[in-house]
Amino acid sequence: MLLFPNQYKKVGYMYLLQLLIPAFYLYFMKSWEQVVLGIVLLGLLALSYILTWWTTGRRYTLIVIGEILLMLIMGAVLNPGFLSVVFWPAAAIGQLHSARHRMWALVVLIASGLTEVFVLAHVRHASLEPWWPMIFAGVAAAVLTVYAVRWQAQITRSRHELEVANTEIERLTKLAERDRISQDLHDVLGHELALITLKSQLAERLVYRDASRAQRELREIRDSAKRTLTKVRDYIATARTPVLDEEWIAAKHLLRAADISCETGGEIASVELASACAQALAMSLRELTTNLVRHSSASRAKLYSEETEHSLWLWIADNGQGLSQSDTQHGGHGLSGIMARLNAVNGELGIWSRGQWITFWHPEETTQLAAFSPFTTVFVVRVPKAARSKMEVGI
């Protein structure tokens, strides 16, 4: 069960664990009845604190009042030291949206706490002189907690608004990109397709009247279709060509955004590769990283590149659930597409999972796995620095 909203989990659990500090006072209670009462009151305070994250409006105000009352009851019935739980009602006050309400609630909190201190000192005929430093510290802590929580809430809210704005920017960017692509395709295809249509209509009319001219028109239609196909292929290759160093950075960002701890090694940006090999490696990096996030259930990953005389090696490791032989045999998780892309440039994909190679691989590369011992799955990608066969990526 989720006790706190996702964006506030760390703060929520941090404050909740700090209830162990006032719980320490239970050790000095004189009777088991006081210990049990203290546990119950601290439990109610913890419950009310959790509820402050899930309620709004009047219910929230009632919970704040309840926390102040719990603080006063613990200080009066158990031990004045329990007034140190002032942090929790102060934290709840800091979450109030209205500055006026925050101010009044803070005044009530401090005034009620000070009143209880003076009343207890009078009833017990105790001198307050030794306690003045603690009293001033408690008041300062209450004030600082209110404004610290408020400042933290504003930062969290601003971050959320920024994420929403970035999402909207991304959506608008995609729409603009679709409009651009549609316009580009119109510019690329529109003229040639219109020409093909006109010439095919002309050839249809000439086929019985002037066969030689009809054949000439058909040849021009064929040439126009070839030009169109070449333009479309060039356009798609340009539009979908990934950049290797950008994919390396994007892979790290993707892993960290998925709360996967990412360790990197090697310098991939300085390596010079043939364009087809760079494309194949970049697309493999993109797809393997995406598969890692979607399917591995990993919490740690490692990206490592190594340059040799004739090849560039890329190692992608994770501590997830691993792969089986059937995943590669049936092309699961898009592995067949990755292998086909690498084969086109004489590259290779090796997969090591849970102590064994599940694809055929170079025996000498087994020694490299020592650096990846904490991980359950390792993908090894090798591409030559110079392309040995022609490849049009994505066509």
Question: Could you give the domains of the chain?
Answer: 6-126 (no CATH), 244-384 (3.30.565.10)
Calpha distance 126→24 (Å, rounded): 23
Tokens of 288: 């393997």
Taking each helix axis from N to C terminus, what angle separates 99-123 and 57-73, rounded to the nearest 10 degrees?
20
Sign, Cα dihedral of 355, 356, 358, 362:
positive
Backbone angles phi, psi at 141, to 5 degrees: -65, -40
Looking at residue 269, its amino acid is A
Please compute, for residue 98, the number of CA atoms within 13 A of its CA located in the half-sphere on the CB side. Answer: 10
Residue from 360, 282, 293 nearest 325 by CA: 360
Considering the entire predicted model, what is its pTM?
0.45
**Pair 275, 240: CB distance under 8 Å:** no
Contacting residues for 45 by C-beta, under 8 A, at least 6 apart: 19, 67, 70, 71, 85, 88
In which residue are the tokens 């799955």 written? 377
Which tokens is 128 given?
Answer: 């307050």
Q: Which residues contact 390 (CB under 8 A, 6 or more apart)?
A: 276
- Over its length of 395 residues, how does the chain's per-residue pLDDT go in tens digits? 578 887 677 878 887 888 888 888 788 888 888 889 989 999 999 999 889 888 888 898 899 999 999 999 988 888 888 888 888 899 889 888 888 888 999 999 999 989 988 888 888 877 777 778 888 888 898 899 899 888 888 888 888 888 888 888 888 888 887 887 777 777 667 767 777 888 888 888 888 888 888 888 888 888 888 888 887 777 776 665 667 788 888 888 888 877 888 888 876 655 566 677 887 888 888 889 888 888 888 899 999 888 888 888 888 999 988 887 666 555 455 688 888 888 888 888 888 887 777 776 565 555 566 677 778 888 989 888 775 444 333 33
Confidence at residue 389, expressed as pLDDT on a 0 to 100 scale: 44
| pLDDT at residue 394 in the model | 37
Who's near 266: CB < 8 A, 6+ residues apart? Answer: 304, 305, 306, 307
